[in-house]
Amino acid sequence: MSEPVSRRDLLQQVVRGGVLATLGGGAIFLVQKAHGQVVWQVDAARCINSRLGDTGAEACKLCTTECVVALSAVRAVNEYSKCGRCNICPAYFNITSAVDEKGLPSEKLCPRDAIARKPIGKADPEDPANNFYEYIIDEEKCDGCGKCVMKCKEPLGLGSIVLRIRYNKCVDCNRCAISRACPKDALIQVPVEQALRPAESLHRTE
Amino acid sequence: MASRGGMLIRVRPGLAASLLLLLLLSFAPALQAQGIPYSRPVETAPQADTIGGGYKTPAVQKPLPRDAYLQMLDVLMLTAAMGMSVWLVLKRRSRKWALALTMGSLAYFGFYREGCVCPIGSIQNVAVALTDRTYAIPMVVTATFFLPLLVALFFGRAFCGGVCALGAMQELVLLKPLQVPPRLDRALGLLKYVYLGLAIFLAIKPALGRDFLICRFDPFVGFFRRTGAPHMLLLGGGFLLLGMFVGRPYCRYLCPYGGLLGWCTRLARRGVTITPDKELDCGLCTGACPYGAIDHMRAVRKDCLYCARCYASCPRDGDLAHAKADLVTLP
């Protein structure tokens, strides 16, 4: 057993031990600091399309153009509980277009026709303008261009439509390509438990 | 009467405000011409009881992020694949099986997991997490960064040969390997340390100026995702083209993680050896190594990428040895 250890071997062992200790120490430090899994999400309070105050501007399309996935992983989402269910929805209709015979704007807003609507609740046959409508965004058609988000926010709408990352589309890039392009730094990494919470309750981790 | 009056007073400002709003909106340039004078009919969202007719607010479609246990699976796969790589190359000395493992890893880590997160990119996350007090990384990323280094410290670059999807892409296209002159090889090899330094420098800048260079110029992630920025795909195509004649050019000359693995491998206990007691000194292995990792018929561990081509080329070893009976039967 007492084979003589050469100086070279000894040195190698010592250095290896040192490197092991350094790597181990680094790993332990990082694990102690870790806060679980993080994912990217759009911070609606920063996103220029949903942020209050930025009205009248063209919708920002960077989420559509910058995402590495062909049809962006960012999609418009209608938080139904906040939706006004209006008869004339400024995010569904192009409210500047001519009025048709039914008294509704003749054009839709979405360039990809991704929003559908259906009457809900107790219908009032006397006054169809008073009915409530559910606005459903077709996730497969939406490319996250943000046009409807821009129109849905106050004061025209109630701000129920926001841009959100769809986790069945997102490939979870190490550094989200949209986050690099976003002028408002609205793409943030959040703990996974927060990722699906309503838009206003995100807390950035970095 | 008093309460009625109070009501009137309370109603009026709202009425006036909505009239004003209507007036303003009808003058607003966005809403001019033949469009309807639009004003929002509600102040708050009507809820199920207001809507009536048995309406229930539907849940917003919410596909969940990838489950934590699936992320742990990635770490397990990484560990298992490295273990397999060590065993297949050092023990079995089988090029065939090592190649099969490489293909399996390419399918899983490359095309299924779409190349993210990988140890190469995780250099940046680790650098940021070590320097920025407010930035932390998930345990999976920590494991992804440290495990291959740990393995390299004992067995060499098993990760490069058996697991890395970027390496596997280049392994696949290597048709006619040319030997790069050793001096040029060494000089180009220094590039990866420059790249490493640059990537860390850009990553540890303050959050807004931060840039993950390695990920932005990842040559193959565009292929894994079947879509990507043109510069990425061009870069990847270029590396594949070059990789047909120069063995794994990204790995040898640019991969910053390869640099780190190389340092750890210098201290490795074991690694690929050109077995002295079996060899013929015929030099077939030197010619077979596309990575210039056999110098004077001895393996240079820090450059060895665990492909097992040397064993495959050896008439006394690896796959050929098992088929020896066929080989020596001369007419």
Model confidence band, residue B169 (pLDDT cutoffs 50, 70, 90): very high
pLDDT at residue A57, as a whole number: 73
- For B192-218, what is the mean pLDDT? 91
Measure CB to CB from residue A95 to each of B38, B114, B264 and give the nearest one: B38
Higher-pLDDT residue of B112, B42: B112
Q: Which of B47-51, B139-143, B216-220 is least confident?
A: B47-51
Res B149 pLDDT > 70: yes
pLDDT at residue A106, as a whole number: 85
Contacts of A77 in chain B (CB under 8 A): 60-61
Interface of A with B in 45-74 (CB under 8 A): 56, 68-70
Handedness of CA B232, B235, B239, B241 (dihedral sign): positive
pLDDT at residue B32, as a whole number: 42
Contact B60 A69 (CB under 8 A): no
Q: What is the ipTM of this complex?
A: 0.74
Tell me the average pLDDT of chain A: 85
Contacts of B269 in chain A (CB under 8 A): 16
Model confidence band, residue B23 (pLDDT cutoffs 50, 70, 90): very low
Kindly state whether residue B323 falls inside one of the protein's structural domains. Answer: no
Contact A38 B64 (CB under 8 A): no
pLDDT in tens, A106-115: 888 999 999 9
User: SS3 of A189, please?
Assistant: strand
Mutation site, A22, A28, A175, interface B, largest B CB count within 10 A: A175
Q: Which of A111, A105, A32 is nearest to A64 (CA)?
A: A111
Determine phi and psi for A42, rounding to 5 degrees: -85, 130
- For A159-179, what is the mean pLDDT? 88
Res A122 pLDDT > 80: no
Which residue is closest to A28 within chain B, CA to CA? B142
Most confident of B137-141, B241-245, B267-271, B319-323: B241-245
Residue B187: domain span: 68-317
Contact B53 A122 (CB under 8 A): yes
Tell whether A31 is within 8 A of chain B (Cβ).
yes
Q: How many CA atoms lie within 13 A of B232 on its CB side?
A: 18
Which residue type sits at B270?
R
Residue ranges covered by each domain of chain A: 1-34, 35-201
Model confidence band, residue B277 (pLDDT cutoffs 50, 70, 90): low
Instruction: Please give the tally of structural domains in chain B.
Output: 1
Model confidence band, residue B6 (pLDDT cutoffs 50, 70, 90): very low
CA A194 to chain centroid, in Å, comes to 12
Q: Which of B269, B137, B182, B166 is nearest to B224 (CA)?
A: B166
CA distance linking residue B276 with residue A82, whole number of Å: 76
Mutation site, A11, A22, A30, A38, interface B, largest B CB count within 10 A: A30
Contacts of B222 (CB under 8 A, 6+ apart): B228, B229, B232, B233, B236
- For B63-90, what is the mean pLDDT? 90
Determine phi and psi for A98, rounding to 5 degrees: -60, 150
Res B5 pLDDT > 50: no
Residues written for chain A: 206
Q: Which of B114, B70, B126 is nearest to A37 (CA)?
A: B70
pLDDT at residue B9, as a whole number: 40
Res B84 pLDDT > 80: yes
How far lies A158's CA from each of A149, A162, B13, B175, B279, in Å?
10, 11, 21, 61, 79
How far lies B269's CA from each of A1, A6, A28, B301, B304, in Å?
18, 14, 24, 10, 14
Res A3 pLDDT > 80: no
Kindly state whether residue B239 falls inside one of the protein's structural domains. Answer: yes
Matching residue, tokens 């280094």: B149
Kindly state whether residue B100 falls inside one of the protein's structural domains. Answer: yes
Q: Where are the beta strands (DSSP E) in chain B?
A: 294-295, 298-299
Q: Which of A25-39, A192-206, B3-17 is least confident?
A: B3-17
Report the gap between the CA of A22 and the closest CA in chain B (Å). 11
Residue B298's CB is within 10 A of a number of other CB atoms, namely 14
